[in-house]
Amino acid sequence: MTKHGIAPRIYRTPGLAVLAAVALIALVLFLANGGGAAPHTLAAGGPGACPAFFSAPNAAVPVDGCDEEESVATHKFKITNPSLPPPLPGLELTCVVTGPTQIAKSAVGDSDADGLDDVLTELTFMKLTGRCDPGNIPVTMTAGPPLPPSFGRIEEKVNNTPKLDCTAGNPGICESFFDVFIEIDTPAPLGVLHNNVAARMQCQIGAIPPIECDYELKVPPNIDMFNEEEKKIGELTEAGHQLVENVVVLEGPFSVVQDKTGVASSLQAVFTGTGGTLTKPVVTVNPPQCPAPSISVVGGNTVVIDWGEKCVKKNDKVQFRVFSEVAEGIVLASRTWKNSGDALTVGGISAGGDLRALPLETTGSGTDAGLLAGAIAGSSALALTLVGAGWYARRRWLR
């Protein structure tokens, strides 16, 4: 039991890597024959009424209110099941999702009698949809009933006032966590994936809601993911989420090839039609010889990816996604590869127009979704490439 009498959760997190594989397979089947299982949808399209009490075993605790907000998430999963068809075993997948969440909260108290004010929380609804790369695989992630309850807590670090010391008018730092159970739904053959040990997502917050606070996977370091037959498919290796104030749309994927002589250390991608609302870019396909880059948005319309060293060779591909508040019309207008600050190429788009129209190659095999569809249509062989995904869920918490 945890400090608040909250039993450690077996957070149902279906292997996204698996998801990706499943989704990719389903996507391939869909493209090949117009069929393919669609991701599972909840009976309810959104959060239900705020419950009066928490789920068992905390059912004696009354709910003081609920927050319903948009969230975004990025996850990284590694496929480990050796029985899956190659090249799946050992691959990693990056998944980016967005959607509504509902958080129930208790009144401020001291549930563990340690002299520090706290608030008990429960993730009562989450439905995030998005894509996994490489492969542009559809995925749906859910939490809340009927899954095992995902309990959490916000507790101040120092008791300076009679109120919780990380709220408006009561500055301070609070420890916030959730022990999360997730279900990830993808097309066959992977199907529905889950975790049997709760994934603890944690962040130190200075305000409620904790805007821009990166909740990260803390315990255990990796989360095993299982299919419906309880066979381990892979591991969640990274997870993170943040609060989103406004409804955002997942844009991309944007695929850019380093088509100039020389080795690049950074990429600058300029977009039009964004309304200056680009946020939270994520690299989903990275050249294997390159380190994880820093990625940021400048001026609301420019994505800057910086590897910190010269590593992107000619013909290497980089793929990324980004969120915006624009439903449609965003266009990648120009890109500039740079080598320690010196441009390798200036602006302009190579033949093919919008870079989103370029083939989406799956890492390792060099095949794209269209080629996979053709292969499936012509034979029973499935060549899937899914690379581990990350989880970056943005959700708004208590007010």
pLDDT tens-digit series, residues 152-187: 999 999 998 888 988 877 888 999 999 999 999 877
Q: What is the mean pLDDT of residues 216-238?
A: 91
What dihedral do alpha carbons 376, 377, 379, 384 form, nearest 10°?
-10
In the prediction, which pLDDT does 170 show?
80
Q: What is the mean pLDDT of residues 20-24?
A: 40
Distance CA 352, CA 333 (A): 12
pLDDT at 45 over 80: no
pLDDT at 374 over 80: no
In the prediction, which pLDDT does 91 show?
81
What are phi and psi for residue 7, nearest 5 degrees?
Answer: -65, 140
Burial of 327 (0-12, 13-18, 19+ CB in 10 A): exposed
Distance CA 43, CA 376 (A): 32
pLDDT at 38 over 50: no
pLDDT at 388 over 90: no
User: Exposure string (b/e) for 99-118, b if CB count within 10 Å is 16 or more?
Assistant: bbbbbbbbebeebeeeebbb
**Between residues 336 and 390, the one the model is more confident about:** 336
